[in-house]
C-alpha cells in the first residue's frame, strides 16, 4: 500500500483495506484453510479479523446480532473475539460482549427463546452494540496507524 493512501483513509476504509487480503483468502474456503490463514496473521491482524467476523455478520439486524453471538459462543470462537478486544484495549466493548454472553446464557438456560421480553432486550443490546462498534472502529483506526508494520507492506512512491 502506498503511504499516501494509508494516511488518507478514514477509520472504516482503513479497517477494510488492511483486512482485504485476509478476507479474500478465507472467503468460501474450508475451515482448515481459514485456520491456516488465521495462524499466519500478526496479533493485530487477528484482532481486527475477529472483530470483523462479529461485526460483518451481525450488522444488519437484531436477529443477526444475537444469533451470530450465540453461534460464535457455541463454536468456541467467542474467546477469540473477546481476546481481540483485549488486544485493542477496548474495555467498553469487551464488557458489553461479556454482558451479552451472560444475557444469552440466562435465556438459553431458561428455555425461553424469542419471547417479547427477550426480543426487547435483544433490540436494546443491538442498538448499544452499534454505538460501541462505532467507537471500536475508531480504536482500530488508531491501532493500525500506530502499528502499520503489522498490517501493510509499503509500496514505493512513483
**How confident is the prediction along the chain (158 residues), in pLDDT tens digits per residue?**
999 999 999 999 999 999 999 999 988 888 899 889 999 999 999 999 999 989 988 889 998 998 899 899 988 789 999 999 999 999 999 999 999 999 988 888 777 666 788 888 889 999 999 999 999 999 999 999 999 999 998 987 66
Q: pTM, whole model, 2 decimals?
A: 0.85
Burial readout 86-100 (b: 16 or more C-beta within 10 A, e: otherwise): ebbebeebbebbeeb
Q: Residue 47 and residue 80: Cα distance in Å, rounded? A: 8
First to last CA, the chain: 12
pLDDT at 75: 83
CB 6 within 8 A of CB 152: yes
pLDDT at 113: 62
pLDDT at 19: 92
Q: Residue 87 and residue 94: Cα distance in Å, rounded? A: 10
Angstrom distances, CA of residue 96 to CA of 3, 149, 152:
35, 30, 30
Q: Residue 140 and residue 146: Cα distance in Å, rounded? A: 10
CB 95 within 8 A of CB 143: no
* Closest C-alpha among 92, 93, 95, 100 to residue 72: 100
CB 64 within 8 A of CB 57: yes
pLDDT at 110: 73
pLDDT at 46: 92
Q: Residue 156 and residue 92: Cα distance in Å, rounded? A: 39
Amino acid at each position: 500500500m502506498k503511504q499516501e493512501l494509508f494516511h488518507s483513509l478514514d477509520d472504516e476504509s482503513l479497517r477494510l483495506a488492511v483486512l482485504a487480503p485476509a478476507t479474500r483468502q478465507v472467503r468460501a474456503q474450508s475451515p482448515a484453510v481459514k485456520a491456516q490463514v488465521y495462524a499466519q496473521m500478526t496479533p493485530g491482524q487477528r484482532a481486527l479479523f475477529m472483530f470483523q467476523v462479529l461485526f460483518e455478520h451481525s450488522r444488519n439486524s437484531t436477529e443477526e446480532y444475537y444469533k451470530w453471538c450465540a453461534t460464535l459462543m457455541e463454536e468456541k470462537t467467542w474467546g477469540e473475539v473477546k481476546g481481540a478486544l483485549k488486544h485493542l484495549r477496548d474495555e467498553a466493548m469487551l464488557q458489553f460482549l461479556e454482558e451479552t454472553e451472560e444475557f444469552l446464557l440466562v435465556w438459553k438456560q431458561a428455555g425461553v427463546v424469542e419471547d417479547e421480553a427477550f426480543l426487547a432486550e435483544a433490540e436494546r443490546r443491538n442498538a448499544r452494540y452499534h454505538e460501541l462498534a462505532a467507537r471500536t472502529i475508531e480504536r482500530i483506526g488508531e491501532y493500525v496507524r500506530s502499528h502499520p508494520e503489522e498490517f501493510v507492506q509499503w509500496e514505493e512512491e512513483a
